[in-house]
Chain A
Amino acid sequence: MRAMVYRGPYKVRVEEKDIPRIEHPNDAIVRVELAAICGSDLHLYHGMMPDTRVGQTFGHEFIGVVTEVGSSVQRLKPGDRVMVPFNIYCGSCYFCERGLYSNCHNVNPNATAVGAIYGYSHTCGGYDGGQSQYVRVPFADVGPALIPDWMDAEDALMCTDALATGYFGAQLGDITQGDTVVVFGAGPVGLFAAKSAWFMGAGRVVVVDHLDYRLEKARSFAQAETVNFAEIDDIVVHLKRDTDGLGTDVAIDAVGAEADGNFTQHVTSAKLKLQGGSPVALNWAIDSVRKGGTVSVMGAYGPMFSAVKFGDAMNKGLTLRMNQCPVKRQWPRLFEHIRNGYLRPKDVITHRIPLEHIAEGYHMFSAKLDGCIKPVIVPNAA
């Protein structure tokens, strides 16, 4: 089969690989119909995530058709068309039993601090991902779900990570009616978080980024107000002035480890790998939210330390909430929202790329060229 393969920082190629086999009785093999590149993949692509091995196939957002199931699989059979959450989880450990699917303890030998994610380094378990023609799906009775008949394939694909994560991020903001919510980052996660903030009754939603084309999407897709931080001197002061000097009630970090806006922070993390991630957006969130407010962190950071302004968070009495998204928990309610027409997830997709051209897809998405917001990979072009 053909599969994307990591060759070292900033380098990927498509290789011939063996079709994955059943390695555990509850495994399934899925033939991938659509996959996507996520902002999280950029942390791997830039070589920031410890223990990212040459030879791994990335991709934790995918949908496809089951081709084979292990002996203990009860709920899926070959031919089923499934959407697969980015979390790999057992469904039975201390954490899974409490709904913390992203924190499963039974799927990742390499680290106890994170659960497992498809195609996301050995620090997240050492599994291959879905940017390929076939993928091994562990715990087939737990993670995957049949794609509802009425649901569009690209909408289902967005549910496997970006949409669920944005929705989750808004929930962790504990928004109450009329709250002013600022979202840092107008990538897919930020756009979905901004959109979801309205569902929870926000009074104002402000999206901050430095890419005008993405801010335009934040206005059209998420009906948000926008600020381009590259055009103003100090984003924290700007947001304070805009909220009567108080600060926003809620701030959501939908940026993570590559955050721009501070040369030293960015270069020490993204280029020199001396920090777990560049906490520029996180620090802006901490500083621009009001005292007693809530910061929800969806942006992903590496497991090493980062220069976070913890003192401000403490002095301001903030609530900091964060996690990898337990995706499947969000689905039933999200499906209702999609069905009711409150949002069309695939509206954030800008590019559809054949697997063979994935190296250029990575470069375009990483360098933010050509108005790229969400690139979708088509591994089995007809």
Chain B
Amino acid sequence: MPYTSAPHEHQVDTAELRRRIPGWGVDLDPANRPAVPRERMEPGGTGSHWAFPERQPEPSPRERSIEHLELPPVFGTVAPLKGLSGAIRRYAYARYSEGRAAHWLLLILGDRVDAVESHLRSFATLRPDNPVTQTGVLSEFRRHGFSSRFRTRRADRSHQWLDPIIIAGPWVLTGVVVAAAARGVLRRAAGRRT
């Protein structure tokens, strides 16, 4: 009880626990726990055989956090910056530290722009984006979408209906705006002719 100093029930039946649970207590002694202590000096114990790694060639200027004093010797090279999203991301890296919300908000904006740019670009390829196959939504039928959700009580039902809106919403909206604009242009053209 929290209101008295009576000992908290830490008197457990260790024999029973050992019987019931395979491995109970094997790491009771912190000395057996690999993550203890948090910092454990092990120079040379990691397999590295360098004081500082050789530098990977830098094919094109690699964006980096302004908190880094220099470009780290090894880095990923997938999806280099390009297009408008690339410009936004480059600015986020060049201008703001990781401590600034602007840094992350710009990067998230870059992500949204990247998705739009990439979808548009895909229409000029032999393999345009296919929302049906890429969202895997057909698994709703193969993987028991209905009974998985409605057989038991689940907390995520309160918001899962938002997903289709988030995924398809911007496209529907763009479609509506484009259609309305086209209608306006046509009407104006028609008006001018009469």
Contacts and interface: CB of A to CB of B under 8 A. Distances in A.
Given A10-B135, A302-B104, A362-B136, 11 more contacts: A54-B115, A106-B72, A122-B79, A171-B33, A171-B36, A178-B12, A199-B27, A201-B24, A201-B25, A363-B136, A369-B145
Interface string A1-22: 0000001111111000000000
B86 to A, nearest CB: 9
10 contacts: A7-B122, A9-B167, A13-B133, A26-B53, A50-B111, A53-B111, A54-B118, A260-B159, A271-B166, A368-B148
A261 B155 CA distance: 6
A109 B98 contact: no
Interface residues of A, number: 115
B144 interface: yes
B47 interface: yes
A207 B135 CA distance: 31
A367 B145 contact: yes
Contacts of A127: 76, 78
Contacts of A125: 75-76
A244 B8 contact: yes
Interface in A192-207: 196, 198-201, 203
Most buried by A among B46, B67, B71, B154: B46
A139 interface: yes
B67 A112 contact: yes
Chain A interface mostly: loop
A364 B75 contact: no
Contacts of B63: 109-110
A341 B79 contact: no
A186 to B, nearest CB: 13
Contact of B53 (A92, A112, A276, A337): A92
Nearest to A104: B72
Given A108-B72, A110-B64, A343-B23, A55 B143 contact: no
Contacts of B57: 23
Contact of A24 (B56, B130, B153, B160): B56
A177 B159 contact: no
Contacts of A370: 139, 143-144, 148
A124 to B, nearest CB: 9
B144 A230 contact: no
Contacts of A203: 9-10, 12, 17
A54 B156 CA distance: 27
Contacts of B144: 369-370
Given A171-B36, A363-B136, A97 B41 contact: yes
A223 B47 contact: no
Which 8 residue pairs across A and B have the least CB separation, nearest first? A342-B23, A126-B76, A91-B48, A363-B136, A8-B115, A91-B46, A127-B76, A50-B107
B1 A245 contact: yes
A85 to B, nearest CB: 11
Contacts of A263: 158-159
Contacts, number: 315
Interface stretch (A28-36, A148-156, A312-320, A327-335): A327-335
A125 B117 CA distance: 22
A51 B111 contact: yes
Contacts of A111: 65, 67, 98
A211 interface: yes
Contacts of A110: 63-65, 93
Interface in A328-366: 329-334, 337, 340-343, 359-364
A142 B46 contact: yes
Nearest to A70: B54
A25 B115 CA distance: 34
B188 to A, nearest CB: 35
Given A200-B27, A367-B145, A53 B156 contact: no
A138 interface: yes
Contacts of B107: 50-51, 123
Given A51-B89, A139-B53, A329 B34 contact: yes
A113 interface: yes
B43 interface: yes
Contacts of B167: 9-11
Nearest to B148: A369
Given A47-B111, A266-B159, A108 B75 contact: yes
B73 interface: yes
Contacts of A9: 115, 166-167
